[in-house]
Amino acid sequence: MWVGVLLLVQVVLVWFGSGQGWLTLAAAAAGLAVLAGLFWLRPQAQSLAWVVITAWMGMTYAHSGAWFEILVFMGLMLVGMLGYLTSPWWFVAAWGFHLLWNLLPRKTDHHAAHATMGHLGISPAASATYDVIIFAYLLVAVLAGRLGHTQQELMHSASVAPRLVNAELQSDVVGGRRRAVRVSST
């Protein structure tokens, strides 16, 4: 839910800024608002939020309907999931790619994506401002260990699965119904 609030805040900032003629400033404010909202989350929760925000970023251009933009959106969704499941460096790669992607000359209908921050596509400077802020934060956060799964979280995940399997293997059939036997953790 919190990520949804942050996405709404950034959409409103960009929408308002585009109407007032200060889109680049609005893009910077939107990027900083997202960072301020996510900075305080635990690394695992923050990584999950970045999956959503990375997919959202790709989706803004998929609304144009161009088949290649839709493929890029699907690729960014995959990279976002890889960022959560394997390494947060995938988030850095996704946003670095997006920064370069925005600088490529191509014809798209950014007006079709107004509700999802498509306004940024109208101004390469605004889009680059937003992307540089996000990219720089992600780079610093990964280098500082503020993104991804902590060693403790990974160890906990690795220890839960075998205990669940052991509980299932030690289940008992009583009166035609299965009854799981409590397994103590060691």
CA separation for the pair 141, 118 (Å, rounded): 26
Local confidence band at 150 (pLDDT 50, 70, 90 cut-offs): low
> What pLDDT shows up at residue 164?
45
- 139 neighbors 93 (Cβ within 8 angstroms): no
Other beta carbons within 10 angstroms of residue 74's beta carbon come to 13
In the chain, where the domains are located = 2-149, 151-186
- The end-to-end CA distance of the chain, in Å, is 36
**What are the tens digits of pLDDT across the range 64-99?**
677 877 888 899 899 999 999 999 999 999 999 888
Q: What is the pLDDT of residue 56?
A: 85
Write down how long the chain is.
Answer: 186
**Per-residue model confidence (pLDDT) at position 171:** 45
